[in-house]
Every structure is written in C-alpha cells, then in structure tokens.
C-alpha cells in the first residue's frame, strides 16, 4: 500500500515507516516542515521526494497514519482538509498532557481517536492503534512482544490495520468500536507509571486466552 505517515519525522513515525518499508509498502513521510520530511525520508533510504507536507502526503496516499503528539493532533488534521475522504486513517495519538503523563487524561470527546473522527468527519474512517508500542523498539529489528489493540467502527477497516500491524512484526487484535480506543490510550499512562515505579523499559500488554 501507499501509506502516508503524518508527523512521520518523530520516533513512532520513523519506527512504523522502517518496518513497513521492509514489508514492501510505499511510504510517504509527512510533516508541517518540508525540509524535515525530506530529511527523514532520506534517513529511511527513501527518495527525497517521498518527504512532503502533511496535506500533500494525505492527498497522495491510499491510507494514512497519524503519529503526532496530542498537542499537535488537532492542527495537523485541520491542515489537511478533506484529503483523507474515503480513506482509512490510523490514529496512534495518545492524549498525554505533560508534566502529568502518568495520569489518564482523556479529551472531552472521550478519546483522541474520537476527536480525530469529529475533526475529519464521517467520510474518513478512523481506526485507533499502536498507542502501547515502544517507538524505540520499532526502530530496531527486535521482536516486540507487546500486542496491538485495534479499535474502529468498521470491521473491514480494522482488519486492514491488523494486517499492517502484522507486516510490522506485531500481533494485533480486534478491540471493538472506535469508542474503545479510550482503553488503549489510557493504558499508555499506566505503562509509563509501571516503567517508572518498577525501573522497566518498554513495558507492554499481552492478550492471553484459549
């Protein structure tokens, strides 16, 4: 697929990009700063032309993935207009509000993914995923034991995102409708607290059962 990573100059965006490139996907790196996008594309051994402004990346892709900090989510989505109409957008946003990142602080919409859906409108299919995965590990070839919770209102769209997670070497699960994204987003603050209290790095979640 041709995947645009909006805010792709950060660690999560680079990590997902590197793994999807290895899986054979065509990656576009989006940013609000064209030079940074082109520099990140070059660092991933992509053509410089694969780095572009977020709006242009959104227009050119088949599917997009948003990997910006919560503070930039709204402005980034508003900047792309209707470029993602009739497309899937994966929202990996976690509503962390420094300095209290170990406290769950969901936005008034109920979750960051629900906020994204309200901004983009019903013509874009928002699917929530990748909030609980270490961006640092994604940038390596390490096996990642943490599972991915995929929430969205349409099962076919969730299945597409689960397939992309598997292409990145991850195990992913259908986690119900988009409103359930609140659970995955909240878990990030809990995992940060666990890391600090127990002197761990890269704690994650694992689904078990028979």
For residue 46, what pLDDT is reported? 96
For residue 183, what pLDDT is reported? 97
Per-residue pLDDT of the chain (210 residues; tens, 9 = 90+): 999 999 999 999 999 999 999 999 999 999 999 999 999 999 999 999 999 999 999 999 999 999 999 999 999 999 999 999 999 999 999 999 899 999 999 999 999 999 999 999 999 999 999 999 999 999 999 999 999 999 999 999 999 999 999 999 999 999 999 999 999 999 999 999 999 999 998 999 999 998
| 110 Cβ neighbours under 8 A, 6+ residues apart | 179, 182
For residue 76, what pLDDT is reported? 97
CA distances from 67 to 30, 123, 196 (A): 10, 20, 23
In terms of Cβ atoms closer than 10 Å to its own Cβ (0-12, 13-18, 19+), residue 120 is buried
Report angle CA 87, 91, 167 to the nearest 5 degrees. 80
Domains plus CATH for the chain? 2-197 (3.40.50.720)
For residue 168, what pLDDT is reported? 97
Predicted TM-score of the model (pTM): 0.96
For residue 138, what pLDDT is reported? 95
Q: In sequence order, what are the beta bridge partners of 4?
A: 28, 64
For residue 48, what pLDDT is reported? 94
Q: What six digits make up the tokens of 164?
A: 């992309």
**Which residue, 14, 6, 19, 71, is CA-closest to 39?**
14
For residue 83, what pLDDT is reported? 97
| 137 Cβ neighbours under 8 A, 6+ residues apart | 15, 144, 202
For residue 78, what pLDDT is reported? 97
For residue 63, what pLDDT is reported? 98
For residue 204, what pLDDT is reported? 94
């Amino acid at each position: 697929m041709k995947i645009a990573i909006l805010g792709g100059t950060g660690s999560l965006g680079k990590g997902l990009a590197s793994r999807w490139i290895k899986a054979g996907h065509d990656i576009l790196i989006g940013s609000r700063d064209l030079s940074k996008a082109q520099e990140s594309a070059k660092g991933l051994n992509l053509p410089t032309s694969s780095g572009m402004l977020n709006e242009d990346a959104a227009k050119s892709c088949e599917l997009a993935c948003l990997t910006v900090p919560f503070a930039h989510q709204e402005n980034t989505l508003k900047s792309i207009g209707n470029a993602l109409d009739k497309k899937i957008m994966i929202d990996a946003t976690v509503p962390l509000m420094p300095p209290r990142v170990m406290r769950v602080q969901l936005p008034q919409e109920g979750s960051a993914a629900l906020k994204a859906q309200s901004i983009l409108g019903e013509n874009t299919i928002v699917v929530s995923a990748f909030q609980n995965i270490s961006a640092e590990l994604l940038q390596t070839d390490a096996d990642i034991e943490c599972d991915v919770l995929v929430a969205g209102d349409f099962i076919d769209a969730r299945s597409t995102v689960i397939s992309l997670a598997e292409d990145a070497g991850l195990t992913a699960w259908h986690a119900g409708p988009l409103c359930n994204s609140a659970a995955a987003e909240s878990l990030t603050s809990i995992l940060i607290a666990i890391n600090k209290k127990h002197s761990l790095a890269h704690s994650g979640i694992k689904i078990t059962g028979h």
